[in-house]
Structures are given as structure tokens and as C-alpha cells.
Structure 1
Amino acid sequence: MKSFEFLSKKRDEKPRSKGITMVLDKGLGLETAESLMNISGEYVDYLKFGWGTSIVHEQEIIKAKVEMYKAHDITPYTGGTLFELAYMNEKLEEFFQEAHELGFPAIEISDGSINIPHDKKVECIRLARENGFEVLSEVGKKDPNLDKELTLDERIQYMQEELDAGSSLIIVEAREGGKNIGIFDKSGNAKEDEIDYILDNFDGSKLLWEAPNKDQQVFFILKLGNTVNLGNVSSDDITSLETLRRGLRGDTVGKI
């Protein structure tokens, strides 16, 4: 039983289809990660092994972390950059095989760092699904100049095509910093008119908004409610975000 639980807003228990929290693992040690999940794992739905971090750590450590996360009813998955490296080097078959061997039930498919024709990206989503993976796909570029070349209508078109191809969630790119990229301006403030346009033309329940900063998380919770799907959350901020969702911090108290 939680302390003072009678003062908290209720949240859906896992597995959740809304109010999803995706956390970024940038190379946590097994004991550190396990300790963190023992206290906060019930608030995490997806755990991304950031970009190519899996390459620089021993396989047995990755396997152990993957199994530990799954034991907490969390879906661990490989970062999109790892997929892009496999695509670029024509090693998709080997990539899928090793992801299976390491125990990953899901992968991220993106084209943020390299250029992949969109029809080829869609084919890769279908191929990953055929290989037994859940797919989260990301729309947007990591280079702000290239990202600005994508119109809102193009983003929405890509989102729909990727959803139709089998992606379970569409990630809205904001990187780890959340500034000057996608739906955030140079100061990290949300472009509300662009968000509204996306939501008017796409199913918001299928979107996972990358919102690494507290002010961004507050914005989305106040705008869309505490069941909004948020990602790229720092492992240090799991409890912080959950208290925001439950109206337990000054930013959201009395507003949820």
C-alpha cells in the first residue's frame, strides 16, 4: 500500500493503452537499473536502449537488463539509430536475429540520422513485424535544418503510412534535448498550433510525444490530460513525471 494513497489520482494499471511513459536508458548498470525499477517500474511502459548504446556493452549485460525490464512488465526496445546502422550496412537480417537472441520484443524504426526512402522505411516496418517484433516508428529528423524541410502534411502522411504498416506507436521526434526540433522551438517551448494541426488530422492515442523536459511534460498533461503518451523521459525523472500525471506537484495540482 502506498503512503497517503487516498490523496492521489488513480492511474490505469499495466498493460496500459494510454498514459504511456517511455524512458530512455543511456547505459544504466544492471544493479542501478534494477533498483530503479523496483521503486518506479510500475510507472514505466517502454524502455528504450538509447541510440547505439547496446553495441558498446557486453551481450550478457544487455540480456540481463532486457529480462529484468520484462519482469517488471516493461517493453524494452532498441533505439532507432541502431536500426539505421543495420539498414545502412545492409545487415537487417543479422540485426533482427541478434535482437531476438538478446530478448528484445520490440524495435524502433526511424530515419532520423540517415536518408531512407519512405516506401523502404514502410517495408522495413512490415518486415520487422513479420519477424515477430512490435514496432515503434519515429517521424522526424535529428538535424534541425533537415527536420524543418518536412511539412506538417508530410509528417502526418508518414505517420499514417507507418501506422498502417504495423507500427503500434508513432514517436514524434524531439531528441534528448527537446529544443529546436519538431514541435519545439529553440527555447524548448511547444508549437501549440502545429500540435493542434497534427491532432486534427491523426489519432492522438497512437502518438508518443518525446518530451524530455519537465515544462514540456507539464504542457502536454495540462493540454491533453494525464493519459497523454510521453517519451524520452530521463531515468531520473520517472517519479517526477508520475507525480505530474497524478496532480501531486504544484504545476498540475488541482488541474488534472
Structure 2
Amino acid sequence: MKSAVLDNWHQLLRDPSGCRLADRRKGLGKTMVIDKGMGLGAFTDFVQTAGPFTDIVKLGFGTAVLYDQEVLRKKLKLASDANMIVMPGGTLLEVALQQGAAQSFLDRICSLGFTGVEISDGTIELGRIRRTSLIKECVRLGLFVVTEYGKKAAGSEIDPEELAFTAHCDWEAGAELVAVEARESGVNIGLFDEQGRCKESVLEDVLGKVDQASRLMWEAPQKSQQAELMLQFGAGVHLGNVAPSDALALEAMRRGLRADTFEFGHRPADPDYMI
């Protein structure tokens, strides 16, 4: 019979950083995946491979209403069984608000088995009082609340003071995380310029204004953006709008198992460690 030790990877190979498990226990380094329409087979594969390293799945935009209801329920159960929070895209709630159907929306997502909700105003105007009341109502319903700051129009920028105020009010109302808008492209919006590069001066201004920056989730669909934010904040930074196919690779980056974050791993004291 083989030794149990030989049947498993060495712990320092699974997590050279030595920090990932502790970070996850503290609720740090959450990964939010955007699902733009995976079928049951693809979703099952995703859950089997990347489920243990994904915290939130967002059914992007308004796609949730287009699913066959049985398929949708099966996806929600798969995610729930894997301890992942599932929420519809914030745009769907914006449509519900615009159509005067917000209560129907909330009733429906709860009855279907969604466990989270995204509250945003990327395409509509949502007053502070209404935003706060929505957050509180969703918390009352037992939903994990992620709010979003920023507009979806190309060229939209971050106002650090406005973000700080919005985040403070959202957290006070009961939101768990505040996501910073970058859409699914991460180009020419929010923190990122026309080439998808991080605007360092904007990031510095945000850090100088927001008291609990560790509770921000940065939408960062591109690998270079994810790496840059990790090098800035560490592996415990919350990242969103990650493609399902990139979720496992992102976890490898968090642990120092990719060249981009190789420095996260501990350097062995033994000079002959390569042998």
C-alpha cells in the first residue's frame, strides 16, 4: 500500500506562500467569477475543477431570466452544494427598478435559490436613500450583498471621494463587499485605461480615501490586472469578473504558483533546496 504522504503533493508545493488557507479562513482573497451562459455540462466541469477556489458566481447581466428554469435551478444547486454564493448580475436589478418590479425580482431570486445579490447603478441613477433601503432589505432576506460603484459607459472614471462615501454608506447598511466597476472587458473604464493598464495615480488616491480598502472587490478580468492588483495588495485582494476558465489559474497566482507572483512563495533556507 502506498504511503499517504506519497499520494499527496507536498504542502509547500500546493501553497508556496503558506498563507492562502489562513487568508481564506479570514474571508480574504475572494474570487468572483462571471458566468455569461455556461451550460450544465460546462458548469459542472467548472465546479469540479475551480469550485473549491471560487467564492461567488455572477450570472452576468440579465442572463438569469433567459435560462430554462430547471436548468437554472440545477446550476444554483450545484453552486450551493459547492459552497459558492450565486447572484444575478446587477444590471437585472437595474432593469427591475426601472420597470417597477424590484419586489418581484427579490421574491423570485429567493424562491429560485440565489444566495447573493448585486446592487448597482451602472446604467441608471439610484439615490442614496433607495440604495440603502435595498441593501437593508436584501440583508433581511438573508442574501449576501455585493454593491457596485461606477458607471458602465466607456471612459467612466473613479472619483475617490465619491467611492469612499458610497462604500462607507453601503457597508453601514450591511453590504459585504463593494465592487469597483470594470465590466467584463477591463478596458477604458474605472481603474483601467484604454489599454487595460492600471491607473496607478487613481489607485493611490483610492487607497488614501477609503478606510477599509480590504473590503473592496476589484473587477479585473485580465490576467495582467489581477497580477498587478495582487502585487499591490497581496494575495488577499478580492477580485471579480474573472472568466470561469481563468479561476484555477488565478488561484495558482494567489499562491505563488505562477511566474507573475513567484515572489509570494517562501525562499527555502537550505541552499541545496533545488536538489
Task: Give the alignment's TM-score, normalised by structure 2.
Answer: 0.87
Q: Distance in 2 between matches of 1:177 and 1:3?
A: 35
The residue matched to 1:231 in structure 2 has which SS? strand
Partner of 2:46: 36
Shifted more, 10-19 versus 103-112: the winner is: 10-19
Q: Distance in 2 between matches of 1:196 and 1:76?
A: 31
Query: In percent, how many aligned pairs have the same letter?
Result: 35
Structure 1 residues 13-162: aligned runs within 5 Å: 17-145=27-155, 147-148=156-157, 151-162=159-170
Matched, 1:237 2:246: yes
Aligned residue pair count: 254
Q: In 2, are the aligned partners of 1:175 and 1:210 still within 8 Å (CA)?
A: yes
Q: CA, structure 1 residues 120+75, in 2 after alignment: closer, same or farther (shift >3 Å)?
A: same
Q: In 2, are the aligned partners of 1:15 and 1:45 still within 8 Å (CA)?
A: no
Q: In 2, are the aligned partners of 1:209 and 1:230 still within 8 Å (CA)?
A: yes
The residue matched to 1:208 in structure 2 has which SS? strand
**Superposition RMSD in Å:** 1.7
Q: Which runs of 5+ in 1 are unaligned?
A: none
Matched, 1:224 2:236: no
Runs of 4+ in 1 over 4 A off after TM superposition: 13-16
The Cα of 1:3 is off from its aligned counterpart by 3.8
Task: Give the alignment's TM-score, normalised by structure 1.
Answer: 0.93
Q: Which runs of 5+ in 2 are unaligned?
A: 1-6, 266-275
Matched, 1:179 2:187: yes
Spell out, residue by residue over 1:129-151, the C-alpha distance to the aligned partner (whole angstroms, 9 max, x if none).
22332210000000135x33x62
Q: In 2, are the aligned partners of 1:84 and 1:111 still within 8 Å (CA)?
A: yes
Matched, 1:189 2:182: no
Q: Distance in 1 between matches of 2:8 and 2:105?
A: 42
The Cα of 1:26 is off from its aligned counterpart by 0.7
Partner of 1:253: 262
Larger radius of gyration: 2
Q: In 2, are the aligned partners of 1:80 and 1:108 still within 8 Å (CA)?
A: yes
1:170 to 157, 160, 178: 178
- One-letter code aligned to 2:183: R
Q: Distance in 1 between matches of 2:82 and 2:234?
A: 25
The residue matched to 2:123 in structure 1 has which SS? coil
Q: Distance in 2 between matches of 1:22 and 1:58?
A: 23
Matched, 1:198 2:206: yes
The residue matched to 1:32 in structure 2 has which SS? helix
